């Protein structure tokens, strides 16, 4: 019988192959529709405002409903992934998104839409950390970063597609069809058990070593590895973890892991404050502060989604080469410096200069937005990896909820210079946290990192 250590070692020897592409395509499709369903609200909101005569405060509450749901889902589905398996939690999250996306299309009032959107958000919040945890546990250490960021690329593509699709669908077919299309992932959920194996690392951590061995053997055959290759296995020195060691939230705050949990959570918050703030508020700032026409402000916003695609591909091919720490420090410092420049030039620069600097800042912080959950899924052992990833994703959601509120208050009480200073301060604090507290995970086996 294989041990948990040999299961991990066997996964490490499986090269990137068509099998990885298949897994990446399936989970990537879930990621794609996560983006589609997450952002659909932004494009149907004008129609809902007219339909139900919504006040600005009602609009804000509807948008926040999805974010609050995502926060709950990030925590809840991570626990389910530890208890019932990565594949099952992923399948349930997709079902929840699909069912309540369909329900959103048939809502009859503000209240009914709020409830459906809140519950849909729970599924949306659960898909990301569970999907990243699953991919992390199936990838070789030397290419883990690339594979996870290619997964994130699917989300970035979804952002672009929903932006263009909504322009055509909403005026011609009605806002309801955006949510009807959002039910497409149900086809994935229906066949997911047959399309994806359970994570063998998770199976081994639960003492289900025979099942883990069967999964790894299937993967080895798909990669054309042979039994005689087992002689090359390296013992990772990891003791088998059995079902007698259950996943516990409290272990994230144990003496061994509290430092990682605290500093990673702080970095997630800094990332979200700067990244979400730039994405959400800059179109409004262009329009209200710098008097850009609304159409131009929205066009600039669409351009920003293209920046995300470029960064995603670039990050996928450098993060394993230069390491997580250097990538994150570069992202924080690059963004922080450009935000400081905006702070100094906010009242004198032209719109073109403001847009250029904001785009540069967004370019750099996007490295951190993309890599944040990757890192969180690497620094904890298998028995609590999904919990740690879910907590990190939860802090990203907290930042995306509270950050825009803080920016709104700063604009009201002070000026746009205070906003840029807030972005700069968050980014610089994040750079300090990474420099002082983050361990390098690039090229290291998950079992080695989590010791």
Q: Is the dihedral of CA 409, 367, 293, 416 positive or negative?
A: positive
- Other C-beta atoms closer than 10 Å to the C-beta of 436 total 8
Q: What is the pLDDT of residues 117-145, one digit of tens each?
A: 999 999 999 999 999 999 999 988 888 99
Give the three-class secondary structure for 243: coil
CA distance 80 to 390: 11
Predicted pLDDT of residue 119: 96
User: Which backbone phi and psi does 251 adopt, to 5 degrees?
Assistant: -65, -25
Q: What is the pLDDT of residues 249-261, one digit of tens each?
A: 889 999 999 999 9
Tokens 């609304």 identify what position? 294
316, 150 contact by CB (below 8 A): yes
Predicted pLDDT of residue 242: 45
Q: What is the chain's Cα-based Rg?
A: 22
Q: What does each C-alpha distance from 82 to 90, 128, 285 come to in angstroms? A: 11, 15, 42
CA distance 99 to 185: 10
Alpha helices in 106-236 (DSSP H): 110-138, 144-173, 176-181, 186-195, 200-205, 209-222
Predicted pLDDT of residue 232: 47
Q: What does each C-alpha distance from 347 to 26, 294, 344, 408, 436 come to in angstroms? A: 48, 20, 8, 18, 35
Residue-range domains of the chain with CATH: 4-227 (1.20.1250.20), 250-443 (1.20.1250.20)
Contacts of 412 (CB under 8 A, 6+ apart): none
Q: What is the DSSP string of 106-124?
A: T--SHHHHHHHHHHHHHHH
Q: What does each C-alpha distance from 399 to 333, 334, 389, 393, 405 come to in angstroms? A: 19, 20, 16, 10, 10
CA distance 343 to 417: 5
The size of the chain, in residues, is 451
Could you list the pLDDT tens digit for every one of the 451 residues in the chain?
456 678 888 888 888 777 888 899 999 999 998 888 887 887 788 888 889 988 877 877 887 888 899 999 999 999 999 999 999 999 999 999 999 999 999 999 999 999 999 999 999 999 999 999 999 999 888 889 999 998 888 888 888 888 788 878 888 898 999 999 999 999 989 998 888 999 999 999 888 889 999 989 888 887 777 654 554 444 444 444 444 456 678 899 999 999 999 999 999 999 999 998 888 788 778 888 888 786 777 677 677 777 778 888 899 889 999 999 999 999 999 999 999 999 999 988 898 899 899 999 999 999 999 899 999 999 999 889 999 999 999 999 899 888 888 888 898 899 999 999 999 999 999 999 999 999 999 989 988 887 7
């Amino acid at each position: 019988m294989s041990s948990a250590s040999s299961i991990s070692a066997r996964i490490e020897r499986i090269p990137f192959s068509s099998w990885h592409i298949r897994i990446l395509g399936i989970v990537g499709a879930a990621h794609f529709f996560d983006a589609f369903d997450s952002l659909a609200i932004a494009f149907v909101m004008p129609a809902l405002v007219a339909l139900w005569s919504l006040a600005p405060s009602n609009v804000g509450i509807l948008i926040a409903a999805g974010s609050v749901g995502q926060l709950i889902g990030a925590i809840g589905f991570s626990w389910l992934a530890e208890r019932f398996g990565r594949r099952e939690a992923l399948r349930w999250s997709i079902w929840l998104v699909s069912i309540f996306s369909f329900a959103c299309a048939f809502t009859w009032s503000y209240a009914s839409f709020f409830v459906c959107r809140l519950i849909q958000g729970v599924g949306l919040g659960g898909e990301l950390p569970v999907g990243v945890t699953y991919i992390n546990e199936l990838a070789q250490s030397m290419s883990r970063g690339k594979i996870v960021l290619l997964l994130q690329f699917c989300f970035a593509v979804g952002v672009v597609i929903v932006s263009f699709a909504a322009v055509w669908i909403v005026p011609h077919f009605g806002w309801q069809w955006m949510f009807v299309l959002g039910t497409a992932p149900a086809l994935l959920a229906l066949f997911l058990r047959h399309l994806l194996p359970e994570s063998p690392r998770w199976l081994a951590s639960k003492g289900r070593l025979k099942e883990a061995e069967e999964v790894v053997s299937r993967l080895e055959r798909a990669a054309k590895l042979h039994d005689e290759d087992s002689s090359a296995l390296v013992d990772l020195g990891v003791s088998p973890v059995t079902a007698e060691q259950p996943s516990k939230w409290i272990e994230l705050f144990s003496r061994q892991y509290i430092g990682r949990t605290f500093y990673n959570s702080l970095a997630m918050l800094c990332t979200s404050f700067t990244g979400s703030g730039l994405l959400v508020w800059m179109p409004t700032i262009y329009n209200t502060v710098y008097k850009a026409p609304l159409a131009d402000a929205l066009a600039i916003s669409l351009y920003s989604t293209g920046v995300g695609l470029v960064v995603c591909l670039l990050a996928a091919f450098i993060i394993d080469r230069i390491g997580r720490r250097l990538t994150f420090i570069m992202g924080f410092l690059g963004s922080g410096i450009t935000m400081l420049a905006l702070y100094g030039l906010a009242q004198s620069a032209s719109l073109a200069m403001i847009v250029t600097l904001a785009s540069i800042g967004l370019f750099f912080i996007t490295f951190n937005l993309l890599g944040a959950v990757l890192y969180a899924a690497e620094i904890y052992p298998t028995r609590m990896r999904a919990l740690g990833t879910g907590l990190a994703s939860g802090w990203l959601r907290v930042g995306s909820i509270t950050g825009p509120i803080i920016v709104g208050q700063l604009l009201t009480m002070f000026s746009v210079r205070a906003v840029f200073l807030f972005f700069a301060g968050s980014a610089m604090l994040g750079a300090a946290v990474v420099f002082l507290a983050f361990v390098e995970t690039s090229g290291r086996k998950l079992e080695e990192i989590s010791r």
